[in-house]
Chains A and B, each alone.
Chain A
Amino acid sequence: MQRGKSVKIKEVIESLCKLLSELGVDSVPGTDTFRRAKFNKGDAVEDLWRLLYSLLSKAVRWECACQTTQEHDVDARARLVCGVLWRFGSRGPLAGAGADAGRGRSGGGGGEPRPPAGPGVGPLLREPAGEPAGRTGRGDPDHAAGEVGLSLRACLVGDVLRPRRALPAAPDGWRAAPAYRCCPVDQNSCRRVTPFPLTRKQPASLSDTMGNYAPPGPQSPTVGPEWSLLLGLGEERAAWGGPDGAGAGPGPGEWEWEGGLRRLQWEQGKLRLLWRGLQAAQAERARLLHQVLSATSGPLDTHPATSCTGHNKELERLQTDIQVLEIYLEWKQMEPLFWCWMDSVIDTELAEPSPPSHRGAVAMALESAVVKGARCQGDGGRRGTDELSETLPMLQVQLKAWRAELAGHASPSENVIASSEKARIQERVKLRLRGLTEAYAAPRPTCRRYRLRPQEHPAHRPHRPTKHCPSQAGQPIEAQASRLIEELREEEAGLRQEVERLRRGQREELQELASRLEGVVLIPPLKR
């Protein structure tokens, strides 16, 4: 490797180490360790195993038993890492001795593409088991740690511990040579770190390809019989060269083991698919049961042949209900107008002089209807006009609000209809208002109209202050008003004094504060 590139690689490894440290990975070795590990120096290899174990610890939640057994035993840790890597993808030489084997194979043919990946290059720790690929790993710290582990697996196990054939240097620091259709190891950090040129057919982590049916991840690996076998085989596979016969050739047991693993993965996938099918069947059964229940308990009958007919009927019923509700809402919007109109009508009636017999009849009718609190507004045309002037702006406000609401909810085509309707309603209201105005402006003595008002509480009609009927028994209004005015004046005076006191206090406090600050001169606001 060229000297210049080595220098560059050093910087890259430094950055990787920095990154790993930032990620909270323990036992991150120095850059020189990577270099030494490349040449299979014993001390460096041990450090790297330690690092790999730390990475796995980040990505994997060990079971307590497993952790305690591995705590101080470097070899056991290395074996465990071997096993996990082998289980989840790396089929490279997994022990230090593998480096020799790898080097032996890569001795000649510098330009020759690397032998293709073995069939058993399985998934590594990228996706949690059983989770769909599209739903996992986004912004998950564990996932990030898994990726780092993945990178280093590919980088360290694939490259450092097993140097591959050197290819012509690729441009831009990429390990790519067009003739070989190179691919980097699948992670960015790895690509930049590894000091070796890439080769064609670099095996990827199969975590990408595992998708939904990733076999159970190493969430809680235990060193059971399966793992013992696995770890043992991991060591045995140090000289394994892949099924294409490019290497030393697999032993007879390895193929069977490999096949058994694949078979297991196949069966596991099949079970998952069957489970999904059963889940769909269960959903269908629930729906059918619901249909049967609806058919037997309610008037809504669903035809068994056309499964959606019942739904359509239900939909129609809902649409009818919605229509009714819409009409009701429309009415609710119009209701204030109605009551205002009713008020004005009765005001008009009460304002005009009418025969005593008739008025008595009205009073009786009101009393008999137990319309408590109904106001008798007989002050004449002036009061009616005042009310009208109050009513008009209110009506305008309500109309505006109504229009705005309609415009907000209606589609363009509906808007056209709504606007025409609104125009009609507006016209009607205008006519009525004009009629009322005319009625108040020039009351006709012959008019005979009455109003029926519901009981009115201040809470119900907050927009209008409650007025006392002059004929109601009690103290005269003048006396109450004068007393109230006096009380209010006294209260006002008291409040003014309080405000003045508070203001003075604040001013003094401010001045005191300002005097303590050096270089600050407080210019108080002018006294009001």
Chain B
Amino acid sequence: MSIVTVQLGQCGNQVGQELFDVISSDTNDAQKYKPSAQGKAYDACSQERFFNESITGELSARAVLIDMEPKVIAQAMATAAKSGRWKYGDQSFFCQKQGSGNNWANGFCVHGPRHEEAVADLVRREVERCDRLAGILTLMSVAGGTGSGVGTYVTQCLRDAYPHSFILNQLTWPYGTGEVIVQNYNSVLTLSRLYQCSDAILVHENDTVHRICAQLMNIKHISFGDVNKVIAHQLGGVLQPALTEETHSQYSRNPMGELTAGLVCHPEYRLLSVCSIPQMPSSSQAYSAFTWPGLLKHLRQMLITSAKMEEGIDWQVRAPPAGQGTAERPSGFNRSLANLLILRGKDVSSASACGFMDPALYCPWLPAEGAFSAWRSPLPFNRYEKSATLVSNSQSLLKPLDLMVGKAWNMFASRAYVHQYTKFGIAEEDFLDSFTCLEQVISNYRHL
């Protein structure tokens, strides 16, 4: 049971490297803190899931690195090798010398098809090394050209090549203030296509993560590295082994299957957001004590108010009585379709997740028992004694999505930069199709 990670573009490669670092470090810690059979099982499960062990005992990540520029890949590989705990496979990367120039169309219509065979071959090799493919995790941003354009193309190819495998796309959404002038175009085109071929789309917003870095992690000069660390922490919290409701005393061998089966069964709702609690600087961890009821109370309110961090939660917002329509809902209330709560740490069996079973949190047509699931792991994650991660299919992404599509539409209405896309083969009709698709997604979530 293994997950093959496909890292695409600058962002995807950097996030991927951080993710493997977190996982490797966490696995080491698990062995250190719990040298019992439990720790060993966790370690073995995590290793099998993310790493390929050579005959000499070296761990190489089950990952394929793809970028149109060599710099980031070289850095990621060097950093991994320097860690001494793990490395990337020597032949598991594909890079070119010419980037995509932040143009989705260039990546999707030019680079993607041109290098399809080489990329597919790399992924196939990784897949063949797995005893069982639990799924494919693609890491990419939506703003640039390679991550979004090539990433979308690669995802489509993966869907064609592995029609029965689970494909989870982790997307990093750009800052609202703008990193790239055409980022909203790229985002719209990426999201609309991924919505058709991916099983689940797990979203991290740069703005939100940036706020976490500033307010919770107390980082003064926030770099992309800090942002990536937070994303990796949250992703690790989701993907590291846990005891699910189906597997009981054994770590799940089908993590992505269970995740998707719990959260994205309905094809019209595939957007997932993730939030973790607690998040703090490592120096503060030793001086903090948390209780499960306190953590879960905060997390529940974060879910209700669609807040991504525990600071500044609006405690006035309450869940409406179950069964109320859209019109009667209190403002600021975030309705969920499905939630997955992952608890890790000490005394996890005593933690009660009843608060998340409230039918008022969910849409009326899905009972809470079917909409909520919880995974647990008795081992602390990433040096947090207790931590909770919530993966939610809810309205929380509605607002940023609406904003993004709105900005893109305003640009498109004046045909700004459209010629940069049409010259690579993306017609105005393609834009319109993408807008239409996302409008439908927005509409669906709005009327949840």
Q: Which residues of A contact B (CB under 8 A)?
A: 116-119, 121-122, 132-135, 176-178, 181-186, 188, 191, 200-206, 208-214, 242-245, 255, 258-260, 262-263, 265-270, 273-274, 276-277, 279-281, 283-284, 287-288, 305-309, 312
Contact = CB atoms under 8 A, between A and B. Distances in A.
B433 A186 contact: yes
Contacts of A191: 432
Contacts of B413: 176-178, 181-182
Contacts, number: 193
Contacts of B363: 262
Contacts of B134: 280
Nearest to B325: A243
B132 A281 contact: yes
Given A176-B413, A244-B447, A132 B268 contact: no
Contacts of A188: 429, 432
Contact of B266 (A118, A260, A262, A309): A262
B267 interface: yes
Contact of A213 (B165, B267, B327): B267
Contacts of A267: 265
A273 B260 contact: yes
B261 A277 contact: yes
Contacts of A186: 432-433, 436-437
17 contacts: A134-B160, A178-B413, A181-B435, A183-B435, A201-B442, A202-B439, A203-B439, A206-B440, A209-B195, A209-B196, A209-B441, A211-B196, A255-B364, A262-B363, A266-B265, A277-B254, A280-B132
B197 to A, nearest CB: 5
Contact of A132 (B129, B159, B441): B159
Contacts of A266: 265-266, 365-366, 370
A274 B261 contact: yes
A163 B88 CA distance: 59
A284 B134 CA distance: 10
A288 B131 contact: yes
B55 A119 contact: no
A513 B258 CA distance: 83
B410 interface: yes
Interface string B149-189: 00000001001100111100000000000000000000000
Nearest to B164: A276
Nearest to B133: A280
| Main DSSP-derived SS at the A contact region | helix
A245 B325 CA distance: 9
Interface string B407-448: 001100110000000000000010011011101111110111
Interface string B389-404: 0000000000000000
A244 B341 CA distance: 30
A66 to B, nearest CB: 26
B160 A245 contact: no
A259 B131 contact: no
A205 B370 CA distance: 27
Contacts of A268: 265
A3 B227 CA distance: 57
Contacts of B210: none
B254 A260 contact: no
Contacts of A121: 440, 443-444
Contacts of B440: 117, 121, 203-206, 208-209
B447 A118 contact: yes
Given A204-B439, A280-B165, A178 B409 contact: yes
Given A134-B159, A274-B261, 15 more contacts: A119-B444, A181-B405, A184-B436, A186-B436, A204-B437, A209-B195, A211-B270, A212-B267, A214-B267, A243-B447, A255-B325, A258-B365, A266-B366, A266-B370, A281-B132
B406 A181 contact: yes
B199 interface: yes
A178 B410 contact: yes
A283 B365 CA distance: 35
B204 interface: no
A245 B326 CA distance: 8
B284 to A, nearest CB: 39
Contacts of A244: 326-327, 447
B7 to A, nearest CB: 21
B53 A308 contact: yes
A213 B265 contact: yes
A182 B429 CA distance: 13
Nearest to B44: A305
Interface residue tally on B, bucketed by range? 35 or more
A243 B326 CA distance: 7
Given A181-B405, A258-B365, A277-B257, A284 B267 contact: no
Contact of B436 (A119, A135, A183, A308): A183
Contacts of B195: 208-209, 211
B364 A183 contact: no
B53 A306 contact: yes
A208 B156 CA distance: 14
Interface in B189-239: 192, 195-199
A219 to B, nearest CB: 18
Nearest to A117: B443
Given A119-B447, A178-B413, A281 B254 contact: yes
B267 A208 contact: no
Contacts of B258: 277
A204 B325 CA distance: 23
Contacts of A206: 267-268, 440
A307 B409 CA distance: 51
B409 A181 contact: yes
B280 interface: no
A119 B409 contact: no
Given A121-B440, A178-B414, A212-B199, A132 B55 contact: no
Nearest to A244: B326
A305 B131 CA distance: 12
| Most chain A CB inside 10 Å of its own CB: which residue of B258, B325, B363, B443 | B443
Interface string B111-155: 000000000000000000101111000000000000000000000
B443 A203 contact: yes
A52 B213 CA distance: 56
Given A135-B160, A260-B365, A274 B439 contact: no
A176 B435 CA distance: 12
A210 B195 CA distance: 8
Nearest to A184: B432
B109 interface: no
Contact of B197 (A183, A211, A284): A211
Contacts of A201: 439, 442-443
Contacts of B53: 306, 308
Contacts of B48: 307
A449 to B, nearest CB: 52
B357 interface: no
B377 interface: no
B432 to A, nearest CB: 6
Contact of A119 (B44, B163, B432, B443): B443
Q: Which 8 A-B pairs have the closest CB atoms?
A: A259-B365, A178-B413, A277-B257, A269-B265, A119-B447, A284-B132, A204-B440, A204-B436
Contacts of A210: 267-268
A49 B406 CA distance: 36
A266 B270 CA distance: 12
